[in-house]
Structure 1
Amino acid sequence: MVNKQSLACFLDDLWAKGFKLTDEDIQFIYFGKNFANASDWKVIFAVQVTLRFQHAFDGSFYLSVLDFIKEDNVHTKKQAEELLANKGLQLQPH
């Protein structure tokens, strides 16, 4: 498994680091999680990718990433990164 961090803790950490998501953003993140029936690590990954590429929370971009990586054969962050790279979204280390 990837990261055992819960989605709630991840969102709290974002807040503590100064990245203030709106209540609507948080609700939408949980909506996407439930809609995609995705595990916390995939949701966290999708939020991270969204923030890195969009520099703000973009619900449609988030859902696209989450939908793309929710496939059953994606079990690790590395697999998710490779899948995105194959689509032209290369993550740069930060």
Structure 2
Amino acid sequence: MENEFALAYFLEDLWSKGFKLQDEDIRFIYFGKNSTNATEWKTIIAVRVTLKYQHEFDPSFFIGVLEHIAKPSIITKRQVYRSLEERGLKTKKKLRR
């Protein structure tokens, strides 16, 4: 069963690590989650990807990522990351030999 407060805990953890999102950013994250009918874990990934690539919260980038990964055909984290990589976003580091 999915933890219904995972997103809130994730955002609180960001805050405790010094990444201070504005109140309007938090509201937009929940707005995006609700408007795309995305799960908490997909929303968390979209926030992580946004912060990784934009180095700040960019609402348009976030909603673009979230709309893409919120598709019902994407059901696992592996599929999320593969789908993002197909769109040109490297989401994981490759090990060098």
The normalised TM-score by structure 1 is 0.91
Please give the residue correspondences for 1:7-22 in structure 2 after superposition, counting only pairs within 5 Å: 7-22=7-22
More deviation, 46-55/73-82: 73-82
Distance 1:35 1:72 in 2: 14
Query: In the TM superposition, what whole-angstrom CA distance separates every residue of 1:29-78 from its partner, at most 9, and x where no partner exists?
Result: 00000100111000000000000000000000000000000111211211
Give how far 1:91 is off.
1.3
Does residue 67 of structure 2 align to residue 67 of structure 1?
yes
Does residue 44 of structure 2 align to residue 51 of structure 1?
no
Higher relative contact order (CA 8 A, sep 6+): 1
Aligned residues: 92
Distance 2:58 2:92 in 1: 19
Please give the residue correspondences for 1:9-48 in structure 2 after superposition, counting only pairs within 5 Å: 9-48=9-48
CA RMSD after TM alignment: 1.6
Counterpart amino acid of residue 85 in structure 1: E
Give how far 1:19 is off.
0.4
The sequence identity of aligned pairs, in percent, is: 53
The normalised TM-score by structure 2 is 0.89
3-state SS of 1:75 partner = coil
Give how far 1:84 is off.
0.6
Query: In the TM superposition, what whole-angstrom CA distance separates every residue of 1:6-46 from its partner, at most 9, and x where no partner exists?
Result: 10000000001110000000000000001001110000000
Structure 2 residues not aligned, in runs of 5+: none
Structure 1 residues not aligned, in runs of 5+: none
Give how far 1:92 is off.
3.3
